[in-house]
Every structure is written in C-alpha cells, then in structure tokens.
C-alpha cells in the first residue's frame, strides 16, 4: 500500500508539473482513497481544485487538510480565505480561529481573521488581532485601529 501510494504521488506530481490539472486532481483523489488522512495531499488537492476554478471542491479539500492538521495549518487558513472571499463569514471565522489557535502569532492568520471579522460586522472582535499586528509593525493594522477605534462619539 505504501509503495502504491508513493508511486501514485510521483505520477501525480509529474501530471501537475506538466500542467495537467484535471489528471493531477484525479490522481490525488485516487491517492487519497489509499491514504485518506494525508493532510498535505488534501491541501495540494485543494490548490489544484482552486487552480481549476472549482472553489467549492477546493474548500472541501482544504477542510480535510484542516481536519487532519496539515503542517503549518494551511488547510484551515486557505479554507478560511475562500469562505471569506465568498462572503461565508461564519465559516471563514471558524477556520481562521482554528488557524491562529494552532499557529499562534502567525501574522497572516491574524490578518485574515481580523479582516473576516471586520467584513462580518464584528470589528470589536477584530481588535485584539489588529492590536497584535500593530504592535509587531503592521502599519495597515495600525491605520485600521486608528480609523475604527479612535473616532470620537
């Protein structure tokens, strides 16, 4: 089983490198039938779906990567970004909270979560994330904090 999965992974990488996104997607799907808890492969499958313009399939693959705790928690992060892009803010916030919970002090996760909270009309909830970013030199976060919370009533 391990040899079959390794061979399939190599063939899949060749398909992706050759630009055969559809073939690579099919190969990754077959590989994930052999190793359904392979978080990195789920994340790569999500990337392939996204390249192919299939955002719903991409987010499902990213959710699987998130479930199986991919290295760097990119599955949670990428799922959150896609949900936010499609204005599904509650789902975006859930995934991005998981990202920052598992990857503490990772600025891109904090920034994405703050943006999703603001877009969802929850600016006050975004404040601690913006403050962290601002304290660590993010001038855009500092500007956003000033604009949102320094206004006089």
Output the pTM of the full model: 0.83
How many angstroms from the chain centroid is the CA of residue 97?
A: 11
Residues 40, 10: Cα–Cα separation, whole Å = 14
Question: What tokens does 48 get?
Answer: 């392939």
For residue 22, give Cα distances in angstroms to 16, 56, 123, 133, 150.
9, 16, 40, 39, 50
How many residues belong to the chain? 153
Q: What is the pLDDT along the chain (153 residues), one digit of tens a residue?
A: 555 555 666 666 777 777 778 888 888 898 888 889 989 889 989 999 999 899 999 999 999 999 998 876 689 999 999 999 999 999 999 999 999 988 778 999 999 999 999 999 999 999 999 999 999 999 999 999 999 887 655
């Amino acid at each position: 089983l391990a040899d079959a999965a390794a061979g399939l992974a190599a063939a899949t990488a060749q398909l992706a490198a050759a630009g055969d996104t559809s073939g690579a997607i099919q190969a990754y799907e077959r590989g994930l039938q052999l190793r359904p808890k392979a978080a990195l492969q789920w994340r790569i499958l999500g990337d392939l779906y996204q390249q192919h313009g299939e955002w719903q399939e991409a987010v499902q693959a990213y959710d699987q990567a998130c479930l199986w705790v991919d290295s760097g928690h990119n599955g949670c992060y990428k799922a959150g970004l896609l949900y936010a892009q499609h204005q599904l803010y509650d789902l975006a916030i859930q995934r991005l909270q998981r990202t920052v919970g598992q990857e503490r002090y990772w600025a891109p996760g904090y920034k994405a979560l703050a943006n999703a909270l603001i877009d969802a009309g929850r600016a006050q909830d975004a404040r601690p994330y913006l403050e962290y970013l601002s304290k660590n030199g993010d001038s855009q976060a500092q500007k956003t904090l000033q604009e949102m919370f320094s206004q006089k009533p």
